[in-house]
């Protein structure tokens, strides 16, 4: 759905994005994370055709967004970090204007405005002026404006900032619903726990480069496979070797106490493997799906990066390679 | 027109029924007051309504045009606007006519009442028509200039200050000044002929056609600026076209059958110098774009390189070509060939020295020096104020400093600060060439220190 290739952007004396390539699959919610100044907002702005890159290409639904920004904008919605609304006009007028500006025909604009308002829970506030809405409702109206033309891609920069917990939960529900309705979503946020609620993938940017692009949560169970964590009651040096001897599973990582394996997502197969491990004399105390949360994954990377262990990888692990790895 | 959502949104904001009604009532009251208490024969009503039109369009609508953009930027809605599916042209006219819809409503009411009074006074219909077209087109030009300047300031990241909105408004107001020609012309109907490329044209018709063509250029310029803002790639053909038109248009007033080549070239050269400075000041001096352009040029991607070429560079190349052509076309000897031109009324006429050829070549070099000087400031750490500061330095150099040097009798020092024929070529050109060399070296250093990307090498330009 979103194909980014060799995206490069400079500020005076500084490279903000350096040869970034990534392919984001349809119907996913990608959490865009990274430290301040990493290039997240620049990445989003380039993907939204708000800035023009020095080099590289962004295609959304097959359209080169910098060759034909208008056509691309009719297929995408974007909510910037600091968004504004036309406070002097009503919610309905805001939505009607946005629908028409995004190419929705005048006959369909009324319906589109009503549908977007209902989706975001604004159906009973159409006659209110935008300037009278609370922070949470303004956020909803801004998202309603961004999705009014049923874009295939939705990009949100810090959508939950300033929202109370209840509004954040509601926002998560809205995003999941939009994904289920057929949108591909990219969300940039610093609130990792909240991103974890609805994200299917995590894209980490650091120093203008992609250092990781990986599925998280349920999405990690891709193509009928899943990761399991095995833990023993006491250390047994034979654990890695025994695991590797079991057919049709692969060892991701392991030591004398724990092992993470990749296995077919099939209950019968899991029972069979567990039986073999116990039969080999291993004191298995835990045999459960590995759930690496977004926060854990991000902190792992930050930790490793701080120690200089794996962040050097971006040169070798370019965005394209990572993306292909995810898709394969 | 009503299908343009940007226009409609502005109507929602601007033209509510109470506001429209209030405007109509106020203007009607003023009109009847002018008829009742004014001069007999509704002369007072004509005067009042014309000046109301001037006030509404010249002052108010130009402000609205600039604020249309400034308000969007200030309330963080501009980014969303840039993401809309509207074309650059729809965005440009929808925003301009929409934001000024209420002033236009008021101004057109005044115009209608003025016309009614003129008809009542049995004024010639062609005079009324000319006046109407002149006022409306002048207003459209003024608003386009105001919004264009606001867009230019936005590109230079300088639109957030109120002062800059006022600056854009003042530029629009200056562009509106032509509307007063209509006042003069209506007093002396068909008062004389305009000589253009040796042929005589009725002044009123010539002014009207020129105004409409100029208005076309202004609206086209606004469209091109909106394209840039909406992330379309612009090639420099439009600027080259405008440059050629402006030089051709101005040149026509001085190129009659008796004019020498030098006299015919003088005005286009002068206009070219002005446009070089204006285009330099108008454009953002973005070193990153310069760098991209150079890399694209070095890699042989001329199409992409052209889209990065700064417009001031094109203007300067034209200025240099015209300056050299002017110098070559002049006969050897003193200033006699130009003594009958308007040039001798300029302040620097006494400083032109003995040979105008040297003076014009020096002019080209000094324009280059000034551009390099301003560029150097723009590559510094306080680039937001670089243009203004640089202009002040240059004005000090050109005016008080030159006068002081002339006053104390140091004429041999004049070639350091202004174009001047000091008697021999080395003394005339060496100072400015040294200045250019030093400035180029300083720019090179500043470029290396702050602009060039240190880590990594930019990929070869081929896409994007």
Q: Which residues of A touch B230 (CB under 8 A)?
A: 69-70
Task: Tell me, yes or no, whether A277 and A130 share the same domain.
Answer: no
Which residue shows structure tokens 């020129």? B210
Residue from A69, A138, A314 to probe the interface with B (highest B Cβ count within 10 Å): A69
Give per-residue pLDDT as tens, B406-442. 778 777 788 888 888 877 888 889 999 999 999 999 9
In terms of pLDDT, which residue wins out, B1 or A117? Answer: A117
Task: Tell me, yes or no, whether B326 and B307 share the same domain.
Answer: yes
Instruction: Answer whether A89 sits within 8 Å of B12, measured CB to CB.
Output: yes
Whether residue A267 is contained in a domain is answered as yes
Average pLDDT over chain B, rounded to an integer: 86
Whether residue A88 is contained in a domain is answered as yes
Whether residue A319 is contained in a domain is answered as no
What is residue A185's predicted lDDT score, i.e. its pLDDT?
Answer: 93
Tell me the C-alpha distance between B278 and B312, whole Å.
8
Instruction: Answer whether B456 sits within 8 Å of A86, measured CB to CB.
Output: no
Domain CATH number, residue A109: 3.40.50.300
> What's the total number of domains in chain A?
2
A209 bridge partner residues:
A206
Please report, rounded to a whole number, the percentage of residues in chain B having pLDDT higher than 70: 88
Q: Which of B208, B232, B256 finishes a domain?
A: B232
Task: Tell me, yes or no, whether B279 and B210 share the same domain.
Answer: no
Judged against a pLDDT cut of 90, whether residue A65 lies above it is answered with no
A320 pLDDT band, cuts 50/70/90, is very low
Of residues A6, A74, A84, nearest to B85 (C-beta) = A74
In terms of pLDDT, which residue wins out, A104 or A192? Answer: A104
Q: Which residues of B touch A70 (CB under 8 A)?
A: 85-87, 230
Task: Tell me, yes or no, whether A196 and A224 share the same domain.
Answer: no
CB neighbourhood size of B107 (10 A): 26
Please compute the mean of the pLDDT values over residues A23-31 and round it to a whole number: 90
Regarding beta strands A201-206 and A209-215, do their DSSP bridges make them parallel or antiparallel, or are they unpaired? antiparallel
In terms of pLDDT, which residue wins out, A114 or A170? Answer: A114
Shortest Cα distance from B241 to chain A (angstroms)? 24
Task: Tell me, yes or no, whether A257 and A122 share the same domain.
Answer: no
A105-117 burial by CB neighbour count: b if 16+ within 10 A, else e?
A: eeeebeebbbbbb
Task: Tell me, yes or no, whether A61 and A155 share the same domain.
Answer: yes
A318 pLDDT band, cuts 50/70/90, is very low
What is residue A160's predicted lDDT score, i.e. its pLDDT?
Answer: 80
Task: Tell me, yes or no, whether A178 and A235 share the same domain.
Answer: no
Neighbouring C-alpha atoms within 13 Å toward the C-beta of B291: 25
Q: Which of A202, A218, A234 finishes a domain?
A: A218
In terms of pLDDT, which residue wins out, A126 or B425? Answer: A126
Judged against a pLDDT cut of 70, whether residue B341 lies above it is answered with no
Task: Tell me, yes or no, whether A76 and A23 share the same domain.
Answer: yes
Phi then psi dihedrals of residue A152, to 5 deg: -80, -25
CB neighbourhood size of A71 (10 A): 16
Average the pLDDT over each of A150-159, B228-237, B454-463 and give the range with the smallest value: B454-463
Q: Check if the beta carbon of residue A2 is closer than 8 Å to that of residue A59.
A: yes
Tell me the C-alpha distance between B273 and B322, whole Å.
10
Coil vs helix vs strand at A79: strand
Shortest Cα distance from B239 to chain A (angstroms)? 21
Shortest Cα distance from A83 to chain B (angstroms)? 5
Tell me the C-alpha distance between A290 and A217, whole Å.
9
ipTM value, please give it: 0.80
Task: Tell me, yes or no, whether B148 and B243 share the same domain.
Answer: no
Q: Which residues of A touch B84 (CB under 8 A)?
A: 73, 98, 101-102
B453 pLDDT band, cuts 50/70/90, is low
Instruction: Answer whether A11 sits within 8 Å of B5, measured CB to CB.
Output: no
Judged against a pLDDT cut of 90, whether residue A321 lies above it is answered with no
Task: Tell me, yes or no, whether B313 and B219 share the same domain.
Answer: no
Task: Tell me, yes or no, whether A37 and A184 share the same domain.
Answer: yes
In terms of pLDDT, which residue wins out, A124 or B384? Answer: A124
For residue B140, what are its two tokens? Answer: 């459209």
Which chain B residue's Cα is nearest to A77? B83
What is residue A120's predicted lDDT score, i.e. its pLDDT?
Answer: 85
Average the pLDDT over each of A92-106, B60-74, B404-418 and give the range with the smallest value: B404-418
Judged against a pLDDT cut of 60, whether residue B458 lies above it is answered with no
Average pLDDT over chain A, rounded to an integer: 81
Whether residue A120 is contained in a domain is answered as yes
* Stated pTM of the model: 0.81
Please compute the mean of the pLDDT values over residues B307-319 and round it to a whole number: 94
Domain carrying residue B193: 1-232
Task: Tell me, yes or no, whether B162 and B309 share the same domain.
Answer: no
Task: Tell me, yes or no, whether B140 and B266 share the same domain.
Answer: no
What is residue A303's predicted lDDT score, i.e. its pLDDT?
Answer: 59
Task: Tell me, yes or no, whether B156 and B31 share the same domain.
Answer: yes
Residue from B11, B87, B226, B231 to probe the interface with A (highest A Cβ count within 10 Å): B231
Instruction: Answer whether A69 sits within 8 Å of B12, measured CB to CB.
Output: no
The H-assigned helical ranges of B56-124 are: 62-74, 78-82, 88-99, 101-120
A129 pLDDT band, cuts 50/70/90, is very high
Please report, rounded to a whole number, the percentage of residues in chain A having pLDDT higher than 70: 85
Domain carrying residue A239: 220-289
Task: Tell me, yes or no, whether B255 and B367 share the same domain.
Answer: yes
Which chain B residue's Cα is nearest to A57? B464
Please compute the mean of the pLDDT values over residues B76-104 and round it to a whole number: 91
Of residues A50, A69, A93, nearest to B232 (C-beta) = A69
Judged against a pLDDT cut of 80, whether residue B178 lies above it is answered with no
Of A92, A89, A150, residue with least CA distance to A117: A92
What is residue B313's predicted lDDT score, i.e. its pLDDT?
Answer: 95
Of residues A53, A85, A100, nearest to B464 (C-beta) = A53
Is the CB of residue B155 less than 8 Å away from at least one CB of chain A?
no
Judged against a pLDDT cut of 90, whether residue B374 lies above it is answered with yes
Task: Tell me, yes or no, whether A31 and A120 share the same domain.
Answer: yes
Tell me the C-alpha distance between B307 and B231, whole Å.
12
Q: Which residues of B touch A11 (CB under 8 A)?
A: 288
> What's the total number of domains in chain B?
2
Tell me the C-alpha distance between A104 and A109, whole Å.
6
Alpha carbon distances (Å) from A293 to A165, A197, B207, B236: 20, 10, 73, 52
Please compute the mean of the pLDDT values over residues B338-367 and round it to a whole number: 74
Give per-residue pLDDT as tens, B183-224. 665 555 555 788 899 888 888 888 889 999 999 999 999 999
Regarding beta strands A153-157 and A184-188, do their DSSP bridges make them parallel or antiparallel, or are they unpaired? parallel
Tell me the C-alpha distance between B369 and B365, whole Å.
6
What is residue B309's predicted lDDT score, i.e. its pLDDT?
Answer: 92
Task: Tell me, yes or no, whether A14 and A68 share the same domain.
Answer: yes
What is residue B350's predicted lDDT score, i.e. its pLDDT?
Answer: 64
Shortest Cα distance from B287 to chain A (angstroms)? 7
Task: Tell me, yes or no, whether A65 and A123 share the same domain.
Answer: yes
Task: Tell me, yes or no, whether B204 and B264 share the same domain.
Answer: no
Give per-residue pLDDT as tens, B16-25. 999 999 999 9
Whether residue A295 is contained in a domain is answered as no
Judged against a pLDDT cut of 50, whether residue A307 lies above it is answered with no
Judged against a pLDDT cut of 50, whether residue B461 lies above it is answered with no
Shortest Cα distance from B279 to chain A (angstroms)? 22
Of residues B5, B13, B84, nearest to A73 (C-beta) = B84
In terms of pLDDT, which residue wins out, A66 or B91? Answer: B91
What is residue A326's predicted lDDT score, i.e. its pLDDT?
Answer: 34
Judged against a pLDDT cut of 80, whether residue A293 lies above it is answered with no
Give per-residue pLDDT as tens, B122-155. 888 888 898 899 999 999 999 999 999 999 999 8
Of residues A74, A77, A93, nearest to B12 (C-beta) = A93
Residue from A20, A54, A59 to probe the interface with B (highest B Cβ count within 10 Å): A54
Shortest Cα distance from A152 to chain B (angstroms)? 14
B44 pLDDT band, cuts 50/70/90, is confident
Coil vs helix vs strand at B356: helix
What is residue B368's predicted lDDT score, i.e. its pLDDT?
Answer: 97
Q: Which residues of A touch B452 (CB under 8 A)?
A: 13
B335 pLDDT band, cuts 50/70/90, is low
Which chain A residue's Cα is nearest to B78? A84
Task: Tell me, yes or no, whether A41 and A101 share the same domain.
Answer: yes
Judged against a pLDDT cut of 50, whether residue B462 lies above it is answered with no
Q: Identify the top-confidence range among A194-208, B109-123, B332-346.
A: B109-123
In terms of pLDDT, which residue wins out, B449 or A324? Answer: B449
A308 pLDDT band, cuts 50/70/90, is very low
């Amino acid at each position: 759905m979103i194909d980014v290739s060799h995206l490069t952007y400079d500020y005076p004396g500084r490279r903000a994005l350096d040869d970034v390539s990534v392919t984001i699959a349809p119907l996913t919610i990608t959490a865009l994370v990274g430290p301040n100044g990493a290039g997240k907002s620049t990445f989003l702005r380039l993907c939204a055709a708000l800035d023009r890159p020095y080099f590289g290409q962004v295609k959304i639904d097959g359209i080169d967004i910098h060759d034909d920004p208008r056509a691309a904008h009719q297929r995408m919605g974007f909510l910037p970090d600091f968004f504004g609304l036309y406070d002097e006009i009503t919610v309905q007028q805001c939505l009607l204007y946005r629908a028409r500006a995004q190419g929705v025909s005048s006959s369909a604009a009324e319906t589109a405005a009503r549908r977007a308002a209902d989706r975001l829970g604004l159906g009973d506030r159409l006659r209110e002026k935008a300037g009278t809405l609370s922070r949470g409702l303004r956020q909803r109206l801004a998202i309603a404006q961004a999705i009014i033309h049923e874009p295939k891609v939705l990009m949100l920069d810090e959508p939950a900032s300033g929202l109370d917990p209840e509004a954040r939960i509601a926002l998560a529900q809205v995003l999941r619903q939009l994904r289920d309705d057929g949108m591909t979503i990219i969300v940039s946020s610093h609130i990792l726990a909240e991103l974890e609620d609805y994200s299917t993938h995590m894209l980490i940017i650091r120093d203008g480069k992609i250092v990781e692009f990986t599925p998280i949560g349920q999405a990690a169970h891709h193509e009928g496979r899943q990761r399991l964590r095995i833990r023993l009651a006491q250390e047994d040096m034979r654990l890695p070797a025994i695991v590797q001897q079991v057919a049709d599973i692969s060892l991701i990582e392991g030591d004398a106490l724990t092992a993470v394996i990749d296995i077919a997502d099939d209950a019968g197969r899991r029972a069979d493997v567990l039986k073999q491990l116990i039969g080999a004399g291993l004191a298995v105390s835990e045999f459960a799906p590995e759930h690496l949360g977004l926060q854990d994954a991000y902190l792992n990377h930050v930790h490793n990066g701080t120690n200089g262990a794996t962040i050097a990888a971006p040169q070798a692990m370019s965005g394209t390679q990572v993306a292909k790895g995810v898709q394969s | 027109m009503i299908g343009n959502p940007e226009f409609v949104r502005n109507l929602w904001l601007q033209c509510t029924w109470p506001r429209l009604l209030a405007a109509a009532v106020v203007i009607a009251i003023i009109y009847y007051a002018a008829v009742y208490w004014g001069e007999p024969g509704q002369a007072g009503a004509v005067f009042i309504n014309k000046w109301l039109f001037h006030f509404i369009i010249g002052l108010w609508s130009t402000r609205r045009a600039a604020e249309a953009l400034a308000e969007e930027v200030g309330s963080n809605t501009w980014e969303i606007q840039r993401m809309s599916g509207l074309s650059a042209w729809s965005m440009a006219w929808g925003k301009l006519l929409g934001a000024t819809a209420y002033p236009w409503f008021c101004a057109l009411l005044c115009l209608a009442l003025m016309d009614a009074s003129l008809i009542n006074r049995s004024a010639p219909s062609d005079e009324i028509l000319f006046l109407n077209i002149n006022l409306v087109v002048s207003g459209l030009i003024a608003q386009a200039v105001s919004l264009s300047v606001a867009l230019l300031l936005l590109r230079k990241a300088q639109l957030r200050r109120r002062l800059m909105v006022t600056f854009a408004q003042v530029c629009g107001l200056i562009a509106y000044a032509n509307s007063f020609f209509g006042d003069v012309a209506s007093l002396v109907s068909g008062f004389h002929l305009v000589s253009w490329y040796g042929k005589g044209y009725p002044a009123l018709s010539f002014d009207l056609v020129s105004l409409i063509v100029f208005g076309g250029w202004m609206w086209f310029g606004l469209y091109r600026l909106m394209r840039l803002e909406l992330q379309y790639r612009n090639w420099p053909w439009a600027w080259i076209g405008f440059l050629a038109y402006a030089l051709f248009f101005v040149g026509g007033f001085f190129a009659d059958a008796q004019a020498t080549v030098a006299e015919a070239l003088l005005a286009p050269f002068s206009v070219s110098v002005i446009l070089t400075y204006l285009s330099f000041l108008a454009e953002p001096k973005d070193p990153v774009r310069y760098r991209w352009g150079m890399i694209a040029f070095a890699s042989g991607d001329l199409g992409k390189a052209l889209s990065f070429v700064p417009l001031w560079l094109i203007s300067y190349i034209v200025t240099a070509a015209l300056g050299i052509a002017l110098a070559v076309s002049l006969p050897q000897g003193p200033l006699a060939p130009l003594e009958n031109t308007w040039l001798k009324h300029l302040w620097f006429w006494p400083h032109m020295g003995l040979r105008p050829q040297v003076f014009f070549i020096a002019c080209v070099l000094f324009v280059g020096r000034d551009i390099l000087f301003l560029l150097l400031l723009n590559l510094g750490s306080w680039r937001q104020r670089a243009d203004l500061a640089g202009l002040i330095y240059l004005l000090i150099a050109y005016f008080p400093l030159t006068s002081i040097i002339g006053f104390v009798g140091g004429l041999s020092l004049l070639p350091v600060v202004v174009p001047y024929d000091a008697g021999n070529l080395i003394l005339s050109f060496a100072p400015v060439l040294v200045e250019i060399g030093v400035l180029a070296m300083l720019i090179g250093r500043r470029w290396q220190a702050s602009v060039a990307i240190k880590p990594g090498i930019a990929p070869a330009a081929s896409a994007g």
